[in-house]
Structure formats: structure tokens, C-alpha cells
Amino acid sequence: MAVDRRKVAVFGAAFVLRLLLICLFPSLPDLLTGRVEVSTPVNSFKRLQEGLYLYTRDVSPYDGGVFHQAPLLLPLFSLLPDVTTNPVPTAIFYFLVDLLNAHALATISASGQSVQSRLHSAMRKHIRWDGTSVAAWFLFNPFTIATCLARSTSVLTTSGILFAVSSAVSGNSLNAMLALGFASYLSLYPALLFVPLALLCYDQRSQNSAQAPNTALFILQHGAILSGGIAGLLGLSVLITGNFWEFMTATYGFHLLVPDLTPNVGLWWYFFIEMFDSFREFFLGVFWLHLASYVGGLTARLRRQPLFIITSLLGVFAVFKPYPSISDASLFFALLPLYRHLFPLMRYTFFAISALLYSSLLGPAFYHLWIYAGSGNANFFYAITLVWSLGLSILLADVIFAALRDEWEQDHPERKGEEVKQV
């Protein structure tokens, strides 16, 4: 089959490209692992190694306050050979995770959920890419490649989210909730995707069955499945670490309270460095609420396109979550090609893409000036992260605008123009 051969070619090429990169530049993975743009305290492979070292020597992995990732990663990674002597198996594990993510993306694309859902049908559904192209966009995105080579554990969260969505669009809502539970267990913030994902499952269910299920009951059931999945994973974690509160405070407490202000591409670190101590708790609350408040608003506004709610929320998370890295941006970029039909409606693509390119090139340079050359200060890097966030927000706002416009055109096929509330 021609299509299958294309897919195999894309996947194979992506695999070979990654393999070539680590063979030609053996120091590249370690270099990328140390970059603040890629590795944050909650997904760094170095910190995972530290936790792994303590874990294999029967010390609590959270002793020393370096490791902040979910405990279930430890037995998983302890199966792989030691990365210092034999890095290739670990790298290949990450390549395979990437390919699986791409496969999930292809599944999502193939379902056509992005253009045609229960309550919505896009105006320009002929303008679209097939699953293989979407997967290729994901696999050959430099941000994805960098994340993969840096062996950041965010790729596992990404898989959780993508599998949740792909299971949801194929009507398997149980798997969707379990995968979302896995992602939430790893990184906490994917739990915010529960409402749109449940809506997606609900739409699928009511489309495929004769009568629509009871909404409240459906949401409750799926909430219970999600909580059950998370509780199961937490139970396993307790078996591994033996100390519930220690690992809860070291992982989720760390996500929530943001004690490590190592620079990253997000907006939190600089703000909380400058913050008066007595207001710290308050602004932690403000930032988290700001992040969470988008869920309600976007869900209400874009009720007809649940998959698009997830996409735009992922964009919001890439900008506003406490420890963002380029892997979050790469996830957002991975879902954008599903909305190829919205591209003609977007207005600021040039500006957004320029801002993103500008900041991805200048960011490392300014970071070098600040940390290594000593000829710049923290404001240099922070300014660049602001530009990065600005670029992402413009892109996000633009794509939301395009989606609303598309909806509006569907309602009023003869007229154009729609008010967009951008907060």
C-alpha cells in the first residue's frame, strides 16, 4: 500500500536521523540535557539519573532534593542499561516513544475529528494534511528532536496526552482516561485536560450510539475512571518509595509551590525571584488560577470542537505552566497541523513565526552571555523568554480566532466576521 509505505519511510527516516545525530555528535545528548530550554527541574534526565542512582542503592530517591519526578519512572529506567557506559539503548527507547507519539498523532489525524465533529463541521475541510504529514511535522520538528535527544521525561507525558486523545477519538474512552491519568500522574497539569477530553469522549459515544448518554453520569463515570487510574499509580508509587508524603511533597508539592527558580523558557521563575516573600503564596495562587481559569472559558466557548479545546489548552500550558520547556511547545506544534484548514484564516502567522524563530536563536545566545560570558544579566534571557511566550501566545490567539471565525462562518455561511474574546 502506497500510504503505508510513505508512513514507514517517514518513521524510518525520523529514526535514522536521530540515530545519525547521536552517532555523529556523541556529545549532543549531554549538551542538550544540560540546556535550560529543554531540561527543567521536573523533566531533566540528569536529575532522573540522580534519583535512579539513589533508588538502585536503596536510598530514598527524594533525599537531597534533586529528583522531583514520579517514582514509577525509576523501575522503568532501572531496566535500561547504564547510560554512562551504554547510552544507545536509552536513546533508542526515547526514539521509539517518539515514533509511538507520531503514530498516535497519525491516528488522531485519520479520525478527522479536527475537521468534522458531532456538533461542528469545518468550512474548508478539503484543505488538510493526512496523518503521515502530521506525523512528519511532529517527527522532524527540531524542538521534538531536541527534546528526544535530551531524553527529557516530558516525552512520556506527551505520549500520555496523545494516547489519551487518540483513544478518545477512536471511541475508547476507558483507555483515554487511563492514559490521561498516566500523564497527570507524571506531570500533574494534564489533569486540567479532563473536561475537554471527557467532552470529546462524550461526543464520540453519542455519535456512535443511538441515544446520547446522560451527560452528568458520563462525566462522573469518567472522572471516577481517571481518579481510579491515578490512585492506582499512586498506590504503586507508595509500594516503590514506601513514604507517601515524602514523594507527594517532592513531586506534586514541587509542581505546585515552584521552589526551584532555575531559569527556563517560562514566565514564572523571574517573577518569583523578584517577588516579595510575603506575597509569594498569593501569587502562586494567582498564577495557578490563571492557568486553570482557561479551562472553563475555552470549554464553554469552544464546546463544539472538544479536540480544539485540548489543542488550545496545550498552547496555554506551553506558555503559562510553572516549568515549561520546548517539549510543551513541540506538543502544541504537533497538534496544530491537524488544523491545516484554519491556516488561511490566521492573520499573524508571519509575526508569530518570526518571534518564535528569533527567540529560539537568540535565547541560547543570551543565556550564554548571562551565565558563561558574564557580559549580560538575567534580564537578557528573561526578555527572550518573554518574546518566546509572546510568539506562542500570538500563535495561540490567532488560531483560536481562526477557529471561532470558522465556527461563525458555519453559522452564517453568507457573512464574515466574529468577535473574539481574548483574555
C-beta of 238: minimal distance to another protein in Å? 29
Would you tell me which residues interact with another protein (CB under 8 A)?
A: 271, 276-279, 281-286, 289-290, 292-293, 296-297, 299-301, 303, 347, 405, 411-412, 415-421, 423
d(CA 77, CA 89): 11
C-beta of 202: minimal distance to another protein in Å? 17
Residue closer to another protein, measured from CB, 127 or 292? 292
d(CA 420, CA 405): 8
d(CA 278, CA 148): 39
d(CA 175, CA 164): 7
The alpha carbon torsion through 29, 35, 37, 38 (nearest 10 deg) reads 30
d(CA 275, CA 123): 47
62 phi/psi in degrees, rounded to 5: -90, -5
3-state secondary structure of 375: coil
Residue closer to another protein, measured from CB, 235 or 297? 297
Please report the sign of the dihedral spanned by the C-alpha atoms of residue 324, residue 399, residue 381, residue 277.
negative
C-beta of 176: minimal distance to another protein in Å? 23
The C-alpha angle 207, 212, 213, rounded to 5 degrees, equals 125
Count of CB atoms within 10 A of residue 148's CB?
A: 27
Name the β-bridge partners of 368.
none
Count of CB atoms within 10 A of residue 235's CB?
A: 11
C-beta of 268: minimal distance to another protein in Å? 12
Residue closer to another protein, measured from CB, 374 or 413? 413
d(CA 103, CA 145): 16
Residue closer to another protein, measured from CB, 348 or 380? 348
Residue closer to another protein, measured from CB, 225 or 346? 346
C-beta of 421: minimal distance to another protein in Å? 6
C-beta of 277: minimal distance to another protein in Å? 7
Scanning 34-72, the segments in alpha helix (DSSP H) are 45-56
C-beta of 107: minimal distance to another protein in Å? 30
3-state secondary structure of 59: coil
- Biggest alpha carbon distance in the chain? 69
C-beta of 362: minimal distance to another protein in Å? 25
C-beta of 417: minimal distance to another protein in Å? 4
Q: Are 389 and 267 in contact (CB under 8 A)?
A: yes
What are the strands, taking DSSP E only, across 101-210?
none
Residue closer to another protein, measured from CB, 162 or 316? 316
C-beta of 164: minimal distance to another protein in Å? 23
Name the β-bridge partners of 121.
116
Residue closer to another protein, measured from CB, 4 or 419? 419
CA atoms within 13 A on the CB side of 348: 16
Residue closer to another protein, measured from CB, 11 or 287? 287
Residues 6+ apart with CB under 8 A from 152: 33, 38, 39, 43, 44, 45, 325, 327
Residue closer to another protein, measured from CB, 91 or 403? 403
Residues 6+ apart with CB under 8 A from 276: none
- Burial of residue 242 (CB within 10 Å: 0-12, 13-18, 19+) is exposed
C-beta of 408: minimal distance to another protein in Å? 9
Residue closer to another protein, measured from CB, 67 or 320? 320
Residue closer to another protein, measured from CB, 4 or 274? 274
